[in-house]
Amino acid sequence: MTKFKKAAINAATIIAVAATVGASILGCDGFADEPNSDGTAAGPERKAKAARFNDGDYIFYFKNGRTAGGDCDGYSSEYGGKTTIYEWWRDDIREWEKRVKAAGATEIETNSNKYHSGYYWVSFPTNLIYGTGLRYTANSTKRGNAYFRLKGKGETRIKYTTGLNLAQANADFNWESDGNEFGLKYVREAFSTAHEGKPIPELALRIFYYYESEKSGADPLRNGGYTFERVNNDDKNLLIDASNVEWFAYDY
């Protein structure tokens, strides 16, 4: 083998190794994925195209009483199917794997076993959770959507919402100490007081009324057969009887 040929082979080997390492590093960052459904480029802190619900900081309420919460790049929760959490970074989805496992999730599936382009995800059966609420928001006036299903009925959506959280029977909402659910602290305390000692699970829902026309925001609950009460005699603050709610989800 000539010195020239040997040098060429060595150079090619170095280039190949560098390309492999570079691909692995970029894979950790996630290669550019196809644009999301809203036209934005895929990437961290952006909703994954496959996710139904937006990027946000959510809390998943497991039926065993535990919770798993944190920020994610969108999620999906299929009634009777699977709940799937998305993250752009591989390390982030692995943290979610730890959280849902610690919360008691079984039949966990994920695509984080190796680096690849696009979003990473972890999923588990939806029947393991009551539903999903908003864990934290830095903007207490940002409006989202809340979704519910009563036993034997279809899905109900409430628009212009700024928070959704669950309290078990004879328990508290366990608000985040530095959280901003529902905005002011006194509002959260009012929900806790209204639920105190109740032998039923309840959902705290807050609706952000900006225009007079939005004051019919609770009508879908009334029409859907849900039982609820106003907290502080305020149409914006609703405490919903969750005894017959089979599934709920928040979209920030």
- Cα dihedral 229, 232, 238, 242, rounded to 10, equals -60
CB 89 within 8 A of CB 96: no
pLDDT of residue 7: 45
Which phi-psi region, left, alpha or beta, contains residue 48 (left: φ > 0; alpha: ψ -120 to 50)? Answer: beta
pLDDT of residue 229: 94
pLDDT of residue 26: 38
Residue 11 has pLDDT above 70, yes or no: no
Beta-bridged to residue 60, according to DSSP, are 68, 132
Please state, in angstroms and rounded to a whole number, the distance separating the CA atoms of residues 159 and 147.
Answer: 9
Kindly report, residue by residue over 23-62, the tens digit of the pLDDT.
Answer: 333 333 333 344 554 445 566 768 999 999 999 999 999 9
- Listed in sequence order, the residues at least 6 apart from 39 whose beta carbon sits closer than 8 Å to its beta carbon are none
pLDDT of residue 6: 43
Name the residue type at position 233: N
pLDDT of residue 236: 87
pLDDT of residue 4: 39
CB 164 within 8 A of CB 134: yes
Kindly report, residue by residue over 202-251, the tens digit of the pLDDT.
Answer: 999 998 876 555 556 788 998 999 999 999 888 889 999 999 999 999 99
Task: Give the pLDDT band of residue 112 (cuts 50, 70, 90).
Answer: very high
What is the sign of the dihedral through the CA atoms of 93, 94, 97 and 98? Answer: negative
pLDDT of residue 219: 87
Please state, in angstroms and rounded to a whole number, the distance separating the CA atoms of residues 167 and 175.
Answer: 10
Q: Is 224 helix (H, G, I), strand (E, B) or coil?
A: helix
Kindly report, residue by residue over 152-201, the tens digit of the pLDDT.
Answer: 899 999 988 988 999 999 999 988 755 555 667 888 899 999 999 999 99
CB 119 within 8 A of CB 145: no
Beta-bridged to residue 76, according to DSSP, are 84
Residue 9 has pLDDT above 60, yes or no: no
pLDDT of residue 181: 56
Kindly report, residue by residue over 49-107, the tens digit of the pLDDT.
Answer: 999 999 999 999 999 999 999 999 999 999 999 999 999 999 999 999 999 999 999 99
Please state, in angstroms and rounded to a whole number, the distance separating the CA atoms of residues 241 and 250.
Answer: 17
CB 220 within 8 A of CB 228: no
pLDDT of residue 217: 75
